[in-house]
Amino acid sequence: MSYIVFGAGGHGKVVVDILRSCQETIAGMMDDGIQAKKWNGLPNLGGIGQLDEITLKYPEALYIVAIGNNSIRMNIVERLKQMQVQFGTAIHSSAVIGSNISIGEGTVVMPNAVINADTHIGEHVIINTAATIDHDCCVEHFAHISPGVHVAGGVTIGCRSHVGISASLIPGVSIGKDTIIGAASCVIRDLPDHVVAVGCPARVIKNL
């Protein structure tokens, strides 16, 4: 089984490294903004416009959309789904995955991340470098947990929400969908949908 990585940015580089660390075969990469024939040692297969021919050439390939922006990642996934492609996951060999964990398709778990027991991770989620997700949590589809984030037990994080680098969430809090938590913030109470919250304790500063 081979992988195709969509996204030729910094996030894509890390996803490629993860797949290589797991000794997976990578058929190539895709990106609408890259003209070079090769990127990061991989063939450039083209962009969305070439998807018909790519899917014919690699009918069994697993795709990973390696784009950090949650909304853009979701939009590209939806376009790929129209072609009925299959999505893989990328979990670094150094990540610690506890018991009774579910991880959805398209999700990436980066080096030294920890996901503890009875936690559900949705589809196309990013669990970034050295982030920790404790027991009984739920991270919903297309969320992004940044490097060094610490999520305590029993926390829910909504679809497409972004938890900034080094933020901390105390046990049992609930984060709505499409919400942004600023870097190094400490979340001690529930946050609604569509807000930006920053500080320690985190306070809502903006509605989205």
For 75-128, write each residue's pLDDT tens digit. 999 999 999 999 999 999 999 999 999 999 999 999 999 999 999 999 999 999
pTM of the full predicted structure? Answer: 0.96
| Gap between the Cα atoms of 183 and 187, Å rounded | 11
* Displacement of CA 5 from its chain's centroid (Å): 13
As assigned by CATH, the class of the 2-88 domain is alpha beta
pLDDT for the residue 167:
98
The reply to whether 11 belongs to the active site is no
Name the CATH superfamily for 94-207.
Hexapeptide repeat proteins (2.160.10.10)
Identify the active-site residue in 11, 135, 141, 150.
135
Alpha carbon distance 175, 196 (integer Å) = 11
Query: For 18-34, what is each residue's pLDDT tens digit?
Result: 999 999 999 999 999 98
Query: Does 43 sit behind a cis peptide bond, omega within 30 degrees of 0 on the bond before it?
Result: no
Residue 68, annotated ligand binder? yes
Q: What is the CA radius of gyration of the chain?
A: 17
In the chain, domain spans: 2-88, 94-207
Q: Is 165 annotated as a binding residue?
A: yes
Residue 47 is assigned to a ligand binding site: no
Position 4 scores a pLDDT of 98
